[in-house]
Every structure is written in structure tokens, then in C-alpha cells.
Structure 1
């Protein structure tokens, strides 16, 4: 019985993988079209060379039919790609700062809502709430095919350490369907530097990100070097914000940091187990 159960499960997984592979191949032109849309903000498109959106979303198994939750979408960089891509056959949840946020969070959410209201292409975006604390709902439980978060782990770590990150991962796990994908992109700290004072640098050890995701119940499916930058040493006077686009040091060594480009980033694909 045990062997038969395993065979049935394996057969189901292989069948599911084959169907997904076909759907993903079919989605590639749609992804390219969304990324190359003339409606995207010009300043945003300049960062494509560092963020590699088409390849990244392809790796995270996003198709036009997906239900996707983007956590902490900020000013809407990925929203400009995901909302049109998912408008007809999929669903896009933007889990922004809570409605009762104050200060920066309040201003950021308000600007995001204003952006959505100004363009009918965003009419189907469903804005929810996220904070790395208990009691928020980023999407209905078990509804999402993919949950995405881009360069946010360090913020949660700075705010509340490992507990905040684990709470965040738990929210993602709850929102995903069994077999669903969690896609994480984050500024990567070399493991050799994990014994330094890195906690406010904006970088994160990949081993820590993986261990906390696994503690929340995820399985690491695969990793990619799509967003790697070997020029980045992750050791800068003002942390990751020394590099573009922030260039926090202003004109000090500006050309040096422009030559490095944006940060070296881990790209991790986790999966919620089927049972």
C-alpha cells in the first residue's frame, strides 16, 4: 500500500509538472509582452538590466493564468508588469502596507493607490495588507499559485529579526495552494561575512533565508543566478544603499559604484508541499 501510494503520488506530480511545463512555455510571449510594454514607467525600465523581470518571473513559474500575491510592492515596479499580465485570466493581489500604517508606510500606500486609480489597466488589482506581524491576510488562505517578494527580507529582519521573518514566511505559506511557489529575491551577503556586523547593511545570508523559509514549512525547490552580480562585494560604507539606484554617498566614488551596478541578489524558489 505504501509503495502504491508513493507511485500514485509520483505519477500525479509528474503529470502536474508536464502540464505546468506546457503552460509556462505558452506564457513566455505574454511575459515578454508585459515586460516590453510601452506603458511602463521609463525610469523603471532602466532597471531591467539588474532586475531581469522576464527571466525572474519565468523562473518563479508565473503564467497569465496564475493567482499571484506580490508582498510589499512599493511604488509598483512589478505591478506595472504583473497587473496587465494577469488581468484577463489570472488574479493579482498587491499586499501593501496596512491601511492604518503611519509615516512612510502611510505615504507609500497612498501613492500606490493613487497610481492604481489613475490607470484603468490596474482596475482588477486587489490591494490587501501585509506586515511581518500576526493578524494580517495577504490573500485568501490556499488561494495563491505564486507569492513573490523582492528585496524585502532585510527590512523585516531589521524591524524584528528572525521572528518577524518567520511570521512573514508563515503568512506566505498560508496564502499558497499546496504545491504553490514562493519566489524570493534578496540582496545577498556572502556567507563568509555572516560573522560581521551585517544586520543593517541591507544584505542577507542566503543560508538564513533558506533556513527560516524551511522552518515555516517550505521546501527549497531551486535557486538561480539570474540576478547575481559578481562585482558586488556587499561591503560598502552605507550598505546596499551605497550602490545604485540609491547612491547614498552622493558624488563620493560615484563612478566606482555606478560601475558595480545594483546589488548581487539571491533568487530562491520555494514550494509549499502537496501535503
Structure 2
């Protein structure tokens, strides 16, 4: 009798375990916002934190799959928001190349000061860059000193299509980004959605990006779209207003892509 009771108990517990396993939530990804809390809370980012609710820094780093020791580029760094995030996320063994195009500095000299301020906290006592390095050069020729694991460009990809630049600038710059990455490296692009079929005109009039145009040029260069994220999805944006209009500024619908260089 005890044998039958034991057998019944064994099969019951086995079935229960199987059932329990079937209902378990999937394991959390290695890349999640909590992984980057040290970078988010870095004292050098105190002035950035008021923008964090909209800019989702932890989710951005997780989507970009940033690891300690990575060599990364912040392409068109602007005010340095992403540079400061990356500086701590890659750790002391990593490197960040913070690129500010000469064309942007010529348009507004403030961009030079913003770059200087962004890299200053990561310099040694002599003021020399330690693991965050400023780069200034023409838009399509940053002069990356070494192959990169990841390049991130946030809300500036559409600028490649401005008529202020010579014809072919977008395609030349995308080819440069591709060549700058290690085999298997990734490019993360975040930008404002334009309406479908808007073309390059949307970049010039609204500072928005036609995703069909962007993806065509990126894949032509060799990139493979690996994942698209909805972290900046705001469906209420009609995608027809200039992104600097007060009515929509800071609330635009944005796409986030992670593209891979095959390797």
C-alpha cells in the first residue's frame, strides 16, 4: 500500500512542478534598466535627471545592450546627455568617444562649450581625457581612433538629410558609421517620426525622419535591423508639427532602432 501511496505522491508532485514551470514568468533579460542604476544616478548627471522621465535613460542603455568595457561612440553628442550616461555605463575599462561635428559648432559655438563641459568630469588631475574622449571633425569624418562596439545617435539622424550639407552626405555618413563598427557591432538610432512618405523634406522643415528613407539607406550600407523598441512611442503625436513647436516639444513620437553590422 505504501508503494502505491508513494507512487501517487511522486506523480502528483511531478505534475505540479511541471504545471508550475509552465506558468512561470520568462526570465528577465540580462539587459534591463536596473542594470544601469549607477550610470543613471551618477553625480555628473544631476542636471540631466529632470529630462529622464521623457528620455528613459535606463531603457535606452538596455536597448543598446551596453556592457562594461565597451568602446562606444556618441555620434552628434549635442549637450552630452548620452555621453554622460555612457561614461559610467561602460566603466573604467571602457571608452566613450563623444563626437561634435564642426558644422554644428560653426552654426552655434555653444556646442563646443557643451562638449567641453560633458567630458570634463572624466578627466585626470591634469585635465587630460581618461576614458571619455572628445572628437571634433567634419560630420562624415569623425576620425574614430579605434573600432567601436556600439554607436548611439539620438534625435540627430535626420540632420544627415539637411540641404545645408552637400548631396550624398547622408549616404557617406552612414557608410562611415558602418565602417567604424567592429564586425557584429551595433548602431542605435533614435529620432522623431515623420509621416509615411515624407522624404527628406521632413528633415528640413520639421526636423523629423522618414523611416522608409532611413531604413533604405541603412540597409543599403549593410546594416541589418535587429530590433525596434517602443520606449519613445507617443501615438498622440500627429507627426506633422515641427519638433520645436511648444505644443509638441518633448512629446514627439520617436522610433528606436538597433541595427547590426554582420560579423
Q: Secondary structure at the match of 2:81?
A: coil
Q: Hey, what does 2:16 align to over in structure 1? A: none
Q: Hey, what does 1:229 align to over in structure 2? A: 234
Q: Hey, what does 2:251 align to over in structure 1? A: 262
1:1-275 aligned within 5 A: 25=30, 29-42=34-47, 44-98=48-102, 102-104=106-108, 106-117=109-120, 120=123, 123-133=130-140, 135-140=141-146, 143-158=147-162, 159-160=164-165, 163-191=168-196, 194=198, 198=202, 199-236=204-241, 239-242=242-245, 247=246, 257=247, 261-274=250-263
Contact map agreement 1:91 1:125 (CA 8 A) in 2:
yes
Change in Cα spacing, 1:225 to 1:161, as seen in structure 2 (3 Å) is farther
Contact map agreement 1:162 1:212 (CA 8 A) in 2:
no
Aligned residues: 230
Instruction: Tell me the TM-score normalized by structure 2.
Output: 0.77
Contact map agreement 2:68 2:93 (CA 8 A) in 1:
yes
2-structure distance, mates of 1:39, 1:144: 24
Q: Which runs of 4+ in 1 moved over 6 A?
A: none
Q: Secondary structure at the match of 1:50?
A: helix
2-structure distance, mates of 1:188, 1:139: 32
Change in Cα spacing, 1:157 to 1:221, as seen in structure 2 (3 Å) is same
Q: Note the residue ranges of structure 1 that are not aligned, 5 or more in a row.
A: 1-21, 248-256
Change in Cα spacing, 1:31 to 1:130, as seen in structure 2 (3 Å) is farther
Instruction: Tell me the TM-score normalized by structure 1.
Output: 0.74
Q: Secondary structure at the match of 1:49?
A: helix
1-structure distance, mates of 2:118, 2:250: 28
2-structure distance, mates of 1:100, 1:205: 22
Q: Deviations over 1:64-121 (max 9, x none)?
A: 22111110111111122111222412111111123995341x4312332144335648
